[in-house]
Amino acid sequence: MSIEEEAAVFRKSYGDIFSEALLEAAANMQQYYTDNLYPSDERVNALERLTESIMWAKKAAATHGVK
């Protein structure tokens, strides 16, 4: 395996770790919102924006990598 291939594998595995941690944190936030906010349009909006944030973060990681 070439050094370039090894680097690509490393970046992918690091990206997978980022994605898993992101989803875990988002699940905790989603549960926190659901547990602590009354059902309302604002809660729905907050949950939708959380989903949107996850999608943007994944796109940023895929496009630019992770630190």
pTM: 0.80
* 52 membership: H or E segment, kind and range: helix 41-64
Domain ranges of the chain: 3-64
The CA angle 46-51-56, to the nearest 5 degrees, is 120
* For residues 5-29, average pLDDT: 84
Per the structure block, which two tokens stand in for 37? 């906010």
* Distance in angstroms (rounded) separating the CA atoms of residues 67 and 39: 37
Tens digits of residue pLDDT in 26-55: 999 999 999 999 999 999 999 999 999 999
